[in-house]
Amino acid sequence: MLVQRQGKKKKKKETILLRPIICICNDLYTPALRPLRQLAFLLVFPQTQPSRLAQRLSEISRKQGMKTDTATLLSLCEKTDNDIRSCINTLQFLHGRGHKRVDTKTIQCVSVGQKDQNKGLFHLWQGIFQLQRPKRKRIGEGFDEASGSGEGAQRFQHILSLAYSSGEYEKVSQGLYDNYLSMRVRDPNMQCVCEGLEWLSFSDRLNQVILHGQNFSLMRYLPFLSVTFHFLFANTHVPRISYPHSQHEASSRLLGSKNALSTMMADIPPCIRTRISQLTLSLDILTLLLDIICPKLRPVNPQLFSSREKEQMQELINTMLAYNLSYRQDRTPEGQYTYMLEPRVDDVVRFPGLPPRRQLTYQAKQTISREMEQEKMRRAEQLMLQRNPVVHKPAEKKADGPRPIRNHQQRLETIVKQTTVEIRPEVDFFGRVLAPKPPRPPPTSETGEKCPSTCMGKAVGDSDVWFRFNEGMSNAVRRNVYIRELL
């Protein structure tokens, strides 16, 4: 939104600019106009008709006192490509030089109207694929064209000059490659298509020699690709030309495939990686590997697998871990969850849009993913034990030596020793020894029956301290628990 300030004093008050902003350009697809083109309202004005422009130039010449005819003015319009300013500048130049009469020969000799015009790519592609309407002979023109070059030579020179004026030979060839198959060509044997592909291959090899060998003298042959495509695919119908995107899409897919293969080979064990490369992996191994990791599995709990199915699952997990493959849960735009192969190497060896030959169910991929995570934890723990067996390896049972005393047993023995040492005979106030008390009867339940051993518990030594163990969880006692004890 554009705003206009109301003077220097009123800086705080701003109003909306209501008048339109008109931008005029000759090439709509210039890269500098790309942000503006998305916001502006586009109005395409057709080119000025030569007859109407010649009529207007005739009125201007008559008012300025110059004598000329319609054929001369049409020749001037053709020379300047119907550019109004160039036509007026040419007539003004001739009038300033004292020419009171202007003819066709004078227009052809003067070089003022020929300005350096840089045509856009769409104008060039349209000129290549579209035949111009034959022009009628005008009064004053010579008839030596049939004996000289002819219509084919004129088309040749016209397309060659357009290609030279563009200079973007690589972009021109990309546009020809993306649009030549959509042209209307009467060729049931597809001979012109084969010749066009051969010329595209020749242009690519020529461009490679120019860039790698720095032999820029060969660039003079690059514009002839446009001339060849003009004679092979040009038609009188107006072509529908689209901007070339195939090379960018192919480069993006190639880069994505290389990144996926590099990610896959990054964590492959050295014993396997020394025997494969990205080329052999994509051409020979990957297609068969994707079929191997898609076996037939029952959608049940892995604990219910048979011995054969367990062996198959273990081989599948070992294969996927060896080649750095896994399943990652992802969410589709529709909101459904699915498991995708990570890295996405299945897109490297499969054409887009085609489904894979074998497809695992969601439950099977979920089971494989869970088993792979458990196997990774097992291997990580084994690797940790191998690196530091003193700290992480549990104490092994020794049959010969004495068994180690646990912490709670050591505490109980300490309590028993303290009670044995500190027990003294009971005395009264005057220090006389009292008679021992009779033993306490065993506890009974509410009905009068004796409680079992689980009710009355166990005594600590010979003291009156009784304890009873209740099963459950308590944070007071902690111990080291390993993953293999939980699996």
When pLDDT is averaged across residues 132-138 and rounded to a whole number, the result is 60
pLDDT value for 201:
92
Residues 101 and 28 both lie in one domain:
no
Tokens of 435: 């008679």
Residues 21 and 97 both lie in one domain:
no
Residue 370 lies in a domain: yes
**Of 48, 121, 99, nearest in space to 78 by CA:** 48
Phi and psi based region of residue 361 (left: phi greater than 0; alpha: psi -120 to 50; beta: remaining): beta
pLDDT value for 1:
41
CB 339 within 8 Å of CB 370: no
Residue 363 lies in a domain: yes
pLDDT band, very low/low/confident/very high, at 472 (cuts 50, 70, 90): low
Q: What value does the mean pLDDT of the chain take?
A: 78
pLDDT value for 137:
52
Q: How many domains does the chain have?
A: 3
Last residue of a domain, one of 386, 404, 422: 386
Residues 328 and 260 both lie in one domain:
yes
Q: Is it true that the peptide bond before 343 is cis, omega within 30 degrees of 0?
A: yes
When pLDDT is averaged across residues 446-454 and rounded to a whole number, the result is 50
7 or 335: which leads in pLDDT: 335
pLDDT value for 105:
82
In this predicted model, what pLDDT tens digit does every residue of 363-420 receive, in sequence order?
888 889 898 998 989 888 888 888 887 654 454 554 455 666 666 666 667 766 665 5
For residue 98, what is the domain's CATH number?
Answer: 1.10.8.60
Residues 7 and 111 both lie in one domain:
no
Residue 301 lies in a domain: yes
475 or 198: which leads in pLDDT: 198
Residue 157 lies in a domain: no
Residues 333 and 355 both lie in one domain:
yes
Residue 105 lies in a domain: yes
In this predicted model, what pLDDT tens digit does every residue of 95-107 receive, in sequence order?
888 888 888 888 8
Residues 278 and 368 both lie in one domain:
yes
With 0.75 as the threshold, say if the pTM is over it: no
Q: Which residues contact 186 (CB under 8 A, 6 or more apart)?
A: none
How crowded is the C-beta side of 382, counted as CA atoms within 13 Å?
A: 7
pLDDT value for 403:
64
Residues 11 and 105 both lie in one domain:
no
pLDDT value for 278:
86
Last residue of a domain, one of 368, 386, 404: 386
| Domain span holding position 70 | 47-115
Strand runs (DSSP E) across 272-419, as ranges?
326-331, 337-342
**Radius of gyration of the chain from its Cα atoms, rounded to whole angstroms:** 46
CB 66 within 8 Å of CB 94: yes
pLDDT value for 198:
93
**Of 16, 40, 17, 19, nearest in space to 28 by CA:** 40
- Beta-sheet pairing, 458-459 with 337-342: unpaired
